[in-house]
């Protein structure tokens, strides 16, 4: 017999018999026939389990049963299945879940389209005891930063067998998060990672399962943190994986960059003032003060590009506050946000550029270090912050394509809201970031051509983000880099008809956002 394309590996331990049969039947119902199903019984106490497995193998020659002599738990049982696999790809399916009838056919087509695919994953949903489907998870396309913070790829997972064996298969000591650990190791070496934008997997909710209760397996959270930390160590990322607020999520705390790195903060202003929480403030003064108090990086250059109408006492206040760190750049032309920022960059000296609106107040200690540290990693081109309105609702958590436009998807969500599938809890890739707070290296800013002065008011930051993406660089939203963004809450956004038309003509508008699908 020739080797099949897919080896479905399923460790089995004492599932309800009807559930086990449903899983096997779902595999046998595949419209794509080039598969084998390897069922590894991990010494289930119920003898009916092995009887069911043996009967299934007798009924279909593509079903292989491996009967372990002693219970070794999920890692040992899964490795037995991988050792037995003859397929070019391993497909991971749990003993109580279901795959759709077209699942393997869809994966086979994706492999045909991308022959260098080494890891593929699909969207998923949940199925209850009555067979009702719910809680559909439309996943982002390949998002390595998000995978560090959350095992989002989950089901259906398909991995090239040779690569699984090359990285050593599943590892002891990672029970409960063994899939997360394996996928991290495989994707470190994978040539291509492919996301299939369709639901191919139904995750069954049963008592005691993680599908129904994320707190059901606390040991899995511990193992997952260990998996992420070892992943960071292997890649040479100087960071610590910590438990985040929600179960099975992780916070990546990177070591700060050295004081030898000069960060140039570019702040356009006209010296405006207003009331926040009942108190009057000069926005740019308080923005700089909060940056100096909570930025966490000592080697800062504060470049303020000011309009001619800026009150002299505001400039004097900046001089007293920032001292020798301050660089003042006069601007006497009609308003063009992009031009003001570009002039600020030209007048600056730092190797890292931080664009910052004057109506920002930094909240998080170490704010600058949180934004700057990821920029030293290969493939990262731009970072942005979690920006809040004064009422503690979200202003910015990444810009996405929504209904044919670029929007702030989580605008006005509560700050404590985890977001669907913990989207607001973890660092992640996004399509675009707001220039109200965005960090790039000088080299990336210059390669991207800076902010387009053809877009003086709106969409200049989206355009810059897309140019950074065109360089093959990722744009990261950093969940713990928190700041207030005041004036944007009450300022009426006025978009001229030519502005979105400019973006449509300049850029391809995808059907859905790659990182925050509808």
List Cα–Cα distances, 137 to 111, 178, 201, 418, in angstroms. 22, 21, 10, 15
CATH hierarchy code of domain 263-506: 3.90.550.10
Of 26-30, 481-485, 509-513, give the lowest mean pLDDT range.
509-513
Can you list the pairs that 225-229 forms with residues at least 24 positions away whose Cβ atoms lie under 8 Å? 225/250, 226/173, 226/174, 226/177, 226/181, 227/174, 227/177, 227/180, 227/181, 227/184, 228/148, 228/149, 228/180, 228/184, 228/252
Is residue 491 pLDDT above 80, yes or no?
A: no
| 207: confidence class by pLDDT, cuts 50, 70, 90 | low
Residue 261, CB half-sphere, CA atoms under 13 Å: how many? Answer: 20
End-to-end alpha carbon distance in the chain:
44
Q: Are 499 and 458 in contact (CB under 8 A)?
A: yes
| 215: confidence class by pLDDT, cuts 50, 70, 90 | low
Is residue 139 pLDDT above 80, yes or no?
A: yes
Is residue 217 pLDDT above 90, yes or no?
A: no
The predicted structure's pLDDT at residue 274: 93
Architecture of the domain defined by 6-243: Alpha-Beta Complex (3.90)
The predicted structure's pLDDT at residue 487: 76
Containing 445, the helix (H) or strand (E) segment is: helix 442-448
Give the integer Cα–Cα distance in Å for 248 and 149.
8
Encode pLDDT of 17-47 as tens digits: 999 999 999 999 999 999 999 999 999 999 9
Indicate the Cα dihedral angle 468, 471, 472, 473, nearest 10°: -40
Give the integer Cα–Cα distance in Å for 29 and 115.
25
Encode pLDDT of 324-346 as tens digits: 999 999 999 999 999 999 999 99
Containing 399, the helix (H) or strand (E) segment is: strand 399-402
Is residue 206 pLDDT above 90, yes or no?
A: no
Residues 372, 373, 378, 384: is their CA dihedral positive or negative? Answer: negative
Encode pLDDT of 49-62 as tens digits: 999 999 999 999 99
Q: Considering just the CA atoms, what is the radius of gyration of the chain in Å? A: 26
| 369: confidence class by pLDDT, cuts 50, 70, 90 | very high
Encode pLDDT of 189-204 as tens digits: 999 999 999 999 999 9
Structure tokens at 300: 């800062």
CATH 3.90.550.10 range(s) for the chain read 6-243, 263-506
Encode pLDDT of 417-428 as tens digits: 999 999 999 999
Q: Are 87 and 3 in contact (CB under 8 A)?
A: yes
- Mean pLDDT (whole number) for 63-88: 97
pTM beyond cutoff 0.75: yes
The predicted structure's pLDDT at residue 335: 94
The predicted structure's pLDDT at residue 213: 57
Indicate the Cα dihedral angle 432, 433, 435, 441, nearest 10°: -90
Give the integer Cα–Cα distance in Å for 365 and 481.
8
């Amino acid at each position: 017999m020739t080797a099949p394309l897919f080896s479905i590996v399923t460790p089995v331990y004492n599932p309800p018999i009807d559930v086990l049969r449903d899983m096997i039947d779902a595999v046998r119902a595949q419209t794509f026939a080039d598969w084998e199903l390897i069922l590894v019984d991990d010494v289930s106490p119920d003898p009916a389990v092995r009887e069911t497995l043996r009967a299934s193998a007798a009924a279909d020659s593509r079903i292989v049963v491996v009967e372990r002599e002693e219970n070794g738990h999920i890692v040992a049982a899964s490795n037995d299945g991988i050792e037995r696999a003859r397929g070019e790809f391993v497909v991971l399916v749990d003993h109580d879940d279901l795959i759709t009838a077209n699942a393997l056919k869809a994966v086979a087509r994706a492999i045909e389209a991308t022959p260098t695919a080494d890891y593929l994953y699909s969207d998923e949903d949940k199925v209850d005891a009555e067979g009702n489907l719910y809680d559909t998870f439309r996943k982002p396309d390949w998002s390595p930063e998000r995978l560090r913070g959350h095992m989002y790829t989950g089901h259906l997972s398909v991995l090239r067998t040779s690569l699984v064996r090359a990285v050593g298969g599943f590892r002891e000591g990672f029970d409960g998060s063994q899939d997360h650990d394996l996928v991290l190791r495989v994707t470190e070496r994978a040539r291509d990672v492919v996301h299939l934008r369709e639901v191919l997997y139904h995750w069954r909710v049963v008592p005691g399962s993680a599908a129904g209760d994320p707190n059901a397996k606390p040991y899995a959270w511990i193992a997952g943190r260990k998996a992420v930390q070892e992943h960071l160590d292997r890649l040479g990322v100087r960071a610590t994986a910590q438990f985040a607020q929600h179960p099975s999520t992780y916070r990546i705390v990177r070591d700060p960059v050295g004081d030898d790195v000069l960060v140039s903060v570019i702040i356009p202003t006209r010296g405006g003032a207003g009331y926040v929480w009942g108190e009057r403030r000069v926005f740019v003064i308080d923005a700089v003060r909060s940056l100096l108090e909570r930025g966490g990086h000592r080697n800062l250059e504060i470049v303020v590009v000011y309009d001619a109408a800026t009150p002299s006492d505001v400039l004097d206040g900046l001089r007293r506050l920032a001292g020798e760190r301050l660089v003042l750049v006069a601007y006497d032309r009609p308003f063009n946000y992009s031009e003001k920022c570009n002039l600020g960059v030209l007048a600056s000296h730092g190797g890292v550029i931080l664009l910052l609106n004057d109506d920002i107040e930094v909240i998080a200690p170490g704010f600058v270090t949180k934004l700057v540290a990821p920029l030293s990693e290969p493939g990262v081109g731009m970072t942005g912050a979690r920006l809040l309105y004064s009422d503690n609702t979200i202003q910015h958590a990444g810009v996405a394509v929504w209904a044919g436009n670029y929007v702030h998807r989580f605008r006005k969500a509560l700050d404590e809201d985890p977001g669907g599938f913990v989207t607001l809890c973890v660092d992640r890739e996004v399509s675009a970031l707001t220039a109200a707070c965005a960090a790039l290296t000088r080299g990336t800013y210059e390669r991207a051509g800076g902010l387009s002065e053809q877009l003086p008011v709106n969409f200049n930051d989206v355009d810059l983000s897309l140019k950074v993406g065109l360089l093959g660089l990722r744009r990261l939203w950093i969940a713990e880099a928190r700041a207030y963004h005041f004036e944007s809450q009450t300022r009426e956004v006025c978009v001229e008809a030519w502005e979105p038309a400019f973006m449509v003509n300049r850029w391809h508008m995808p059907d859905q956002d790659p990182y925050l699908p509808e």
